[in-house]
Amino acid sequence: MNLFVDAFFLQAGYNAALVAIGAGLLGFAAGASGTFPFLRKRALISDAIAHATLPGVGLAFVVMVGFGGDGRSLLGLIAGSAVTAWIGLLVIEWISRRTRLAEDAAIGAVLGVFFGIGIVLLTVIQAMSAGRQAGLESFLLGSTAGMLFQDAIVIAVGGSLAVITTWLMRRPMTLVAFDSDYAASMGYDVRRIDLLMMGLVLSVTVIGLKLVGLILIVAMLIIPAVAARFWTDRSTSMIWIAGGIGGASGYLGAVLSASAPAMPTGPIIVLVAATIFIFSLLFAPDRGVLAALFRHRGFQARVHRRQGLLSLAAQHPIRETYTLRLLAREGLVRPDGVPTDAGRAQAAKIARDERRWDVAREFYQDAGLTGRYDGLTPIEDVFTSDEIAEFDRRLGPPVTVRGD
Amino acid sequence: MSRTTQPEIASELGHAVGPAHAPRDAALALQGLTVSYSEKPAVFSVDATFNAGGMSAIVGPNGAGKSTLLKAALGIIPRLSGEVRVFGKLLRNARAHIAYVPQSASVDWDFPTTVLDVVQMGLYRKVGLLGRLSGQAQSQANECLDRVGMADFAHRQIGQLSGGQQQRVFLARALAQDADLFLLDEPFAGVDAATERAIIGVLKLLKNEGKTVIAVHHDLATVRDYFDHVLLLNVRRIAEGPVETAFTTENLQATYGGRLAATHLDELAVADGGR
């Protein structure tokens, strides 16, 4: 526990602090730039992009060694991975636009083929220069060991650029994600905006490769956006909420993995994000599972109460025990089902409202107002008291409901 | 996205099937417009002229290419050949004049946005990337919502709207664009009677302001009440002109084939001049 507190306040050593800050920044950038691909329902393209980075990592290494370099320069590897990831993205785009294949087929094909090529390259490299253990396989699952200050700078600069671009382009990207035909009719170049959206994902992917690894980076792009959707109904707020969730997951995940020996950073980050997602799924107000459950229960109770009172008004027996229990709890019926005075009054009121609705329907042919009848909305919410008085004039004197 | 057209080919086709050139002052002029998703044209060599200030219906059976024609005229889908002119200009120079109202079923209404946000989308071009949506823009959007009777719904999440309300919001978004030419794709599909009246009221007001309205329309019974100009389409142009002369039994028969009962047709169409 002490280790966790130390790590949380960046007191657990230079490397741990660097990793925690880097992972936090990366998480924020990933969450923010993953928002629009998620809203465009193209989140899975980011998985193909991530897998398409691997051949680039291998090729960049070979090229750098060929020119007499070390081969492990992070910027060089990032550049290489960005090139093949971009090619993968264009191939997906081309396949789904120009052939009869659907996008999911294109994603599957590109993901598999590019990853396969990457693995072959890595295997060859390891056989070629065994002495020069490049550690390229750490790009698969990520590694925090030996993270340098300059690595954190790369994440900070690249991540900031991705977030700023997302913010600047939020309007065109919102338009394209919501209604691409309309965007096109206004003269926006939908294809370019789509490429930009995925280009942002690509840049976050390549700068996060070394830390989180290409297999799990997709989770940092998608999960924060999915979780953020539970907390807001505005796409622009989603950018920041997803960024916040991503940043918190990155930071907390890195801190957790630093506070216990042999805990893999990337997977822990993803698990923290998943925890936030599950919490959001269950407990978010309005869109959460529990909120929906309570809402449904409340609705059910209102329907039963209304039906029960209508039965009382019509002097029909109430057979459903749930309805009886509801009415009894409110003191509207006695346990044996006989209405109390309060129950009779309520039933009379509701029966009268039903007849008022009947008059309203004759009165206003317009479905705009009478269309709001759903058996539950109080008539006072739809019509003014003057209008209701007019209905009553046509109805005649009130009728009392008698008990048995 | 919008590929360059080949004027030679287009004009040749135009010569073969229609007038030699489209009038340059028309709000929307299509010439030899052909659109194809595969090897089979969805719209073939259609000429049509929609005059400024008119209220036009594009009518035809399912699969006749009505929506496709509209989308191609807007450059949303590429055209195989043909020319589109908006107020005499090429499409890319006329974007500011056009407002499009897509079918409301074409988008995901669970998208995280509010009614007011959607209407403000109509202002994005004017405001630009960095511009703030000022108080003026807000009040402009609210005013557009008011015109379609949706002012009370400004801050609702769009997922809570009924089909008719969704359609009104899309119309308000188009109004916010302050365009001269309004292209609507089945604005009355799946809406309640009150919404239909509200929408046609707004459209007629637009016409009175001198705007041009063109709508894909599927309800033959209301064509005569709502519109003054009609394009009967079934892949090809069957007929086009003022409703009184073009919306005839004969032309409807030619458009719909055996799909409409003859007795029904007589009720709908304008009596043929010859009879």
Strand boundaries in A181-336, DSSP class E:
none
Q: Do A368 and B113 touch (CB under 8 A)?
A: no
Per-residue model confidence (pLDDT) at position A141: 86
DSSP B128-190: TTT----HHHHHHHHHHHHHTT-GGGTTSBGGG--HHHHHHHHHHHHHHTT-SEEEEESTTTT
Q: Do B112 and A371 touch (CB under 8 A)?
A: no
Minimal CA separation from A272 to chain B, in Å: 25
pLDDT band of B196, cuts 50, 70, 90: very high
Nearest to A245 by CA among A213, A208, A212, A273: A273
The DSSP H or E segment spanning B231 is strand B229-234
Q: What is the mean pLDDT of residues A357-373?
A: 72
Residues 6+ apart with CB under 8 A from A111: A47, A48, A51, A52
pLDDT band of A402, cuts 50, 70, 90: low
Q: Is B98 on the interface with A (CB under 8 A)?
A: yes
Query: In the 8-state DSSP scheme, what is residue A288?
Result: S
Here the ipTM equals 0.87
Please give the residue of chain B at the shortest CA–CA distance from A164.
Answer: B130
Name the residue among A172, A235, A366 with its Cβ closest to that of B112.
Answer: A235
Per-residue model confidence (pLDDT) at position A28: 98
Higher-confidence position of A72 and B141: B141
DSSP B31-73: EEEEEESSSSEEEEEEEEEE-TT-EEEEE--TTSSHHHHHHHH
**Tally of CB atoms within 10 A around B62:** 7
Higher-confidence position of A145 and A266: A266
Please, what is the average pLDDT of chain A?
A: 89
* DSSP 3-state percent helix, strand, coil across chain B (nearest 5): 45, 25, 35
Nearest to B172 by CA among B197, B149, B194, B139: B149
Please give the residue of chain A at the shortest CA–CA distance from B117.
Answer: A234
- Contact A269/A30 with Cβ under 8 angstroms? no
Q: Is A285 on the interface with B (CB under 8 A)?
A: no
Q: Is the pLDDT of residue A201 over 90?
A: yes
From chain A, the residues in CB contact with B129 under 8 A are 168-169, 171-172
- Check residue B58 and give left, alpha or beta (phi > 0: left; psi -120 to 50: alpha): beta
Determine the Cα–Cα distance for residues B237 and B268; give it in Å rounded to an integer: 20
| pTM for this prediction | 0.86
- Please classify residue A49 by burial: count the beta carbons closer than 10 Å to its beta carbon, then call 0-12 exposed, 13-18 middle and 19+ buried: buried
Q: Do A172 and B102 touch (CB under 8 A)?
A: no
Q: Do B112 and A233 touch (CB under 8 A)?
A: yes
Q: Do A184 and B75 touch (CB under 8 A)?
A: yes
Determine the Cα–Cα distance for residues A35 and A360; give it in Å rounded to an integer: 47
pLDDT band of B271, cuts 50, 70, 90: low
Higher-confidence position of A365 and A39: A39
> What percent of chain A has pLDDT above 70?
95
Interface of A with B in 327-366 (CB under 8 A): 366
Largest CA distance in chain B: 63
pLDDT band of B267, cuts 50, 70, 90: low
Determine the Cα–Cα distance for residues B6 and B152; give it in Å rounded to an integer: 49
Nearest to B72 by CA among B51, B41, B93, B97: B41
Per-residue model confidence (pLDDT) at position B20: 45
Q: Is the pLDDT of residue B185 over 90?
A: yes
